[in-house]
Structure 1
Amino acid sequence: MPGRDGPAPARQRDRRPGQGRAGAKARRTAQGAGPPGGNSVTDLLADPQAGPTGRSRSGVRDFALLQIAALCGTVATRCVEIALAWWVLAETGNDALLGALLALAIGADVLSRGTLAWLGDRFAPRTVVLCCFVGSALVSGLLTWLAFSGVYQLWAVVLGIALLGVSLGVREPLLMSMIRSMVQTSSVASAVRIRSTVMSFSSFAGPIAAGALIGPLGHAAVLGTACAVVAVSALMVVLLPTPTDEHRTGGQPQRGLGAWASGTRDGFRSIRRVPPEWRLAMLTMVVNFALYPVFAVIVPVLVAQRYPEQTWVLSIVESAFAVGLFVGSAALVGLSDRLFGRRRTVLAGFAVLGAGFVGTGLVAMAVGFGDALVFTAASALLLALSGAGLCMITTNTGTVRLLATPSSHRNRMVATSSFLSGIVMPLGSLSSGFISRTASELWALIALGALICVCALLAARDRVLTTFLDLPDEQLDDIYLRKFPHAFGGEPHETETARR
């Protein structure tokens, strides 16, 4: 089987199309840059094409600008969504409509990752990201004008939420895949950890910022502030240099519906024909199937039924998971990788994530719900561990995906894997609701956690997946193109060469 032959020796690697001397020089520079996960900021962000004495300061600036733009844009977008929800609730008082609008935002985000992922591979990623930020700023500006004018139009709110979701779904995978062109091969893992830390922070900074601003300022002022922040994010992207070495899809580009159909089909075909990515996608689908309903359904219902007068319990318990994400990406993942290796860290991540949910259910059964403080402390600790476990999975698998996928399909691979893991979230909510009604919320929590623990066992027994997780960063560089060229439009004889 292709994935079991192991990687070809470094000296036998096929040269990538158009790589030439610059590519060879970049590989030599990356290999001489020190061990993976180095702590030097200058080494981490040095220009991969610039050599040992290259534009390190430029690399630091570009990477920092990209992460600050991503943080500001994500937090601002979440603030806009919350402000719009608050506006709708104030105008209509309809909880069902509010839930439908939030579902629309999530659905637009997830669907755009699967259907529009090809944009970042066909056009310059910087241009696509800039268009997304500009579009979000324009939509936010229009909604701000309507809010200050006192004009409430449901169709405008619905359209705005959908467009914001599409913008988020298109740009987020690109902000991840752009990292590969900014850092050396040996530093991708460290860069992905930084990116994960930034996004973990934004996951709880957005709701906190929106909640703090809506009270004293009102939803219209929050919309205006968020619009300005998104505009600043767009300006930061403008300041980024345009890479000259990025490989775009060759040949005469298709237009219109043909471009959309072929680009979308290529993304799904690529991930289906790369065994480690396909199997990892199936595992992450199971994880998201269990993960989303825990915080969208089970924990809120559990707290509302047992502690209806103590809303602070829900805030602390759900925030603990985000804190675990932040701490895990900032420190624990790198430490675990150095001590135990990437493969063991990923497997442990599945186990810790599931065990945290199982433990929360068991502890709640054991201590009961009489003392809110005891329940909150125990649940927060276990859910923080679950958050760290999730980071152990996503950071390492994201690193492998960025390194191993050729640039011509990198964004489609990143976005399609995200799409596949996201489409099962509504099914998870339905199943958890069924378990809650037939048994209890605690049993639903235990069952979903046990399901994630099973994923750890399945991943440990998958020789293809673990083989690629064990490879060092330098050997992962474009290895999917060498091992599975048919997944990226390669000829049959290329496949045979790669297998040998």
Structure 2
Amino acid sequence: MYKFNILNHFVVGTLGPNLWRFQLSFFILTLGIRANQLAIAWWTLQETNCAACFSAMVACAISAEILAKPLLGWVADRYCKIQVILIGNILSAGSVLALLTLSLLNEFNAIAVGSLMVIGSIVIGVRDPIQSSIIPSLVDKEQVPLAFRSKAIMSSLATLIGPVIAGGLISGLGISMALGVDLLAIVLAARLVSSAVVKQSASNLMTESRISLILSGFRIAYRIKIEFYLSILAMIVNFALFPFFAILVPLYVKDILSLPVWYVGLLDSAFGLGILVGSYYFIGWLENKVPRDVCISVGFSLLGCNLLITGLLNSPWLLPIVFFCGGVGLMLVNVHASTVRTLATPQQYRNRMSATVAFFSALASPIGSIVVGLYTEKTNLNLTIILFGGLISTLSMIVFLIPQFKLVMRTSNKKLDEVYREIYPTAFHDTAH
């Protein structure tokens, strides 16, 4: 019988206090960010009563975050990752303090608030890839897969409870208090992450130009064909999945199911619960039974079926189960792909690789939203969802066509360490190192 308690491993000591402090700091930061985002949204809409104004502010912030990933991903390869995070926290604290001051003075200025949102988004764009690339420096190589699962659990918990806490803070205590909580979260997170000790220092890349370092991330991602093709598949998934949740699900619930808005929250929660249970239980249960490549293929299938069944059946009772399975599928893809990417990439390139792949994945989200906005005006909503589901489902077969995919995914954790240097020996010859 399968018995596993990841929380025991995580907290008691198998993964060690360094990872616990680091991931707890990101958990606290994520809760603070949710409070910050909802507070700014509520504040902006109250003061301007203009959805277009707020949308423009959000678009600028998201664009800054997306661009920061490839343009600044080299920073955490050149300098100590912990120091980069701490500097980012200082910048975040400064921007939140400025927002809090404006709120307390009851002085709303769209340009000032939007600019401070951009600063916070740039920090997030720099900080997020480090959350993955630093893991091999915090735990033993054999425990990297478990560390990625604990990361996914913490992220899914924050996603589930963050909006609830943020809504309660703003409803009960007001916008200024929510911003104050975010500021406190940044300080606590900085205290936690500063006590983490990494096993490896960042590579010395002082002689390389910034342009060379930026371009090297793209060159490496292109030359390592398995990552290049997987990043394309990730773009396709985000192209469909982001507008599905942001646009199509609310429209579907309102126009097709004729249900109130709480049902949208129920479906989102079911998907989040699938992410949590997939990280906590299913991946561990399958670890020694099913190869990674098969798990990733099954994950694409579950995600695709989530959309296909939604578009085909219109069953309010069945949909939460379908969305739960979709969340499990997303974790089967993400955890295995992230684990292999981080271990197989040479240490001095890991953050650039994570940042570049994240950039390509995020880039597809706004494109998908634009396409959906244009396409749904001309076709049936259910048909749009079905087409997106079919698109994702085909990836479960296409993924096996990627060169070296099966070989790399079935390599043991011990042998995965920097294996891309052996499989793709020319990939790193003229890049910054």
Please indicate the TM-score interval, normalised by the length of the shorter structure.
over 0.9
Number of aligned pairs? 429
Partner AA of 2:393 in structure 1 = C
Please say which structure displays the higher CA radius of gyration. 1
Deviation at 1:433, TM superposition (A): 2.4
Q: Give the equivalent residue in structure 2 for 1:213.
A: 169
Q: Give the equivalent residue in structure 2 for 1:92.
A: 48
1:385 aligns with 2:293: no
Show CA shifts across 1:265-284 (max 9, x none): 01001110101111111111
Q: Give the equivalent residue in structure 1 for 2:334.
A: 394
1: CA distance, partners of 2:430 / 2:259? 62
Pick from 268, 287, 295: which aligns with 2:237?
287
Deviation at 1:78, TM superposition (A): 2.2
Q: What secondary structure sits across from 1:424 in the alignment?
A: helix
1: CA distance, partners of 2:13 / 2:404? 39
Partner AA of 1:293 in structure 2 = P
Name the CA shift for 1:272/1:38 in 2 (closer, same or farther; >3 Å): farther
Name the CA shift for 1:42/1:249 in 2 (closer, same or farther; >3 Å): farther
Percent identity of the aligned residues?
29
1:449 aligns with 2:389: yes
- Please tell me the root mean square deviation across aligned C-alpha atoms, in Å: 2.2
Pick from 201, 205, 223: which aligns with 1:246?
201
What pairs with 1:486-497 in structure 2 (closer than 5 Å)? 486-489=426-429
Partner AA of 1:335 in structure 2 = W
Partner AA of 2:163 in structure 1 = P
Q: Give the equivalent residue in structure 1 for 2:267.
A: 317
Contact (CA 8 Å) 1:73, 1:133: kept in 2 or not? Answer: no
Q: Give the equivalent residue in structure 1 for 2:16.
A: 60
Pick from 414, 422, 442: which aligns with 2:354?
414
2: CA distance, partners of 1:164 / 1:94? 22
Q: Give the equivalent residue in structure 2 for 1:121.
A: 77
Contact (CA 8 Å) 1:42, 1:60: kept in 2 or not? Answer: no
Deviation at 1:136, TM superposition (A): 1.0
Q: Give the equivalent residue in structure 2 for 1:3.
A: none
1:343 aligns with 2:293: yes
Q: What secondary structure sits across from 1:489 in the alignment?
A: coil
Contact (CA 8 Å) 2:70, 2:355: kept in 1 or not? Answer: yes
Show CA shifts across 1:314-357 (max 9, x none): 11112211111111111112212222121111110011110111
2: CA distance, partners of 1:91 / 1:134? 28
Q: Give the equivalent residue in structure 1 for 2:413.
A: 473
2: CA distance, partners of 1:382 / 1:435? 25
Name the CA shift for 1:484/1:463 in 2 (closer, same or farther; >3 Å): closer
Deviation at 1:190, TM superposition (A): 0.7
Name the CA shift for 1:354/1:71 in 2 (closer, same or farther; >3 Å): same
Contact (CA 8 Å) 1:321, 1:384: kept in 2 or not? Answer: yes
1: CA distance, partners of 2:384 / 2:13? 51
Partner AA of 1:446 in structure 2 = I
Name the CA shift for 1:138/1:58 in 2 (closer, same or farther; >3 Å): farther
1:152 aligns with 2:144: no
Where structure 2 has 5 or more consecutive residues not aligned to the other structure, the ranges are: none
Q: Give the equivalent residue in structure 2 for 1:222.
A: 178
Name the CA shift for 1:85/1:484 in 2 (closer, same or farther; >3 Å): same
Q: Give the equivalent residue in structure 2 for 1:201.
A: 157
2: CA distance, partners of 1:346 / 1:482? 23
Q: What secondary structure sits across from 1:438 in the alignment?
A: coil
Show CA shifts across 1:92-132 (max 9, x none): 00011122222233222221111110001000001001111
Partner AA of 2:226 in structure 1 = P
Name the CA shift for 1:155/1:335 in 2 (closer, same or farther; >3 Å): same
Deviation at 1:307, TM superposition (A): 6.0
Contact (CA 8 Å) 1:118, 1:264: kept in 2 or not? Answer: yes
1:188 aligns with 2:150: no
Name the CA shift for 1:214/1:120 in 2 (closer, same or farther; >3 Å): same
Contact (CA 8 Å) 1:44, 1:187: kept in 2 or not? Answer: no
Name the CA shift for 1:179/1:378 in 2 (closer, same or farther; >3 Å): same
Where structure 1 has 5 or more consecutive residues not aligned to the other structure, the ranges are: 1-36, 46-55, 368-374, 492-500
Partner AA of 2:201 in structure 1 = E
Which stretch of the first structure deviates more once superposed, 480-489 or 392-401?
Answer: 480-489
Contact (CA 8 Å) 1:38, 1:190: kept in 2 or not? Answer: no
1:81 aligns with 2:41: no
1: CA distance, partners of 2:17 / 2:357? 29
Deviation at 1:137, TM superposition (A): 1.4
2: CA distance, partners of 1:87 / 1:389? 36
1: CA distance, partners of 2:4 / 2:418? 21
Q: What secondary structure sits across from 1:160 in the alignment?
A: helix
Name the CA shift for 1:319/1:57 in 2 (closer, same or farther; >3 Å): closer
Contact (CA 8 Å) 2:80, 2:202: kept in 1 or not? Answer: no
Q: Give the equivalent residue in structure 2 for 1:14.
A: none
Contact (CA 8 Å) 1:435, 1:443: kept in 2 or not? Answer: no
2: CA distance, partners of 1:343 / 1:242? 30
1:459 aligns with 2:415: no
2: CA distance, partners of 1:94 / 1:196? 36
Moved over 6 A (4+): 37-45
Name the CA shift for 1:199/1:42 in 2 (closer, same or farther; >3 Å): closer
Contact (CA 8 Å) 2:136, 2:342: kept in 1 or not? Answer: yes
Deviation at 1:210, TM superposition (A): 1.1
Deviation at 1:165, TM superposition (A): 0.8
